[in-house]
Amino acid sequence: MSKVRPRVARGPQPQLLSSSYEDKLLRMVMTLATELAVTRERTDALETACRKAGIDVDAVLDDTSHVTHATRAERHRELAGRLLQILEEPS
């Protein structure tokens, strides 16, 4: 597709909490909670599959050699970016 979808709806943006920044903070918490729910489902699916395959899940979790520091940092940056995206919207 030649265009990207718009991200902000046109219309009133009511301030509901003490400041517009508190409203944004609440949305960040909501985003975080949603992504936590996604992660929990992924974890549950993978752990279930591992146990069915006879894998010791706790031992795997203790072993950090499978991923580099840079990969971990990139994942954290991606999540931080999703949270902070809200600050790019007008107050």
Partner 1 sequence: MAQESSPHPLFPHQSADERARHGFLVEFKRLLGSRYRENIRRSYEKTVLPDFLAQVGRAPQTRAEAKALLHRDEYFRLWTALARAQHQGYVDSTGACVERQAETLSAVARAVARSASRGSLRLDESLNIPAYQSELDVHCVPGGYFVELGADDVYAGARYELGITLFTLGAHGYMNDSKGIAGVNFLRQRFPQFTPQRVLELGCTAGNSTLPYVDAWPEAEVHGIDLSAPCLRYAHARSELLGRAVHYSQQNAESTAFPTGHFDLVVSHILLHELSAEALPRVFAECRRLLRPGGVMLHVEVPVRYSRLDAFEQALSDWDTDFNNEPFWEGLHATDLAAVAREVGFGSAEIFDVDLDPALMAFINRQPWMAFGARLPKSNGQ
Check binding of 4 to partner 1 (CB under 8 A): yes
Q: Smallest Cα–Cα separation from 31: which of 79, 88, 87?
A: 79
Q: Which is nearer to partner 1, 4 or 59 (CB)?
A: 4
Check binding of 35 to partner 1 (CB under 8 A): yes
Q: Which is nearer to partner 1, 42 or 77 (CB)?
A: 42
Residues near partner 1, by CB under 8 A: 1-12, 14, 16-17, 23, 26-27, 29-31, 33-35, 37-38, 40-42, 45
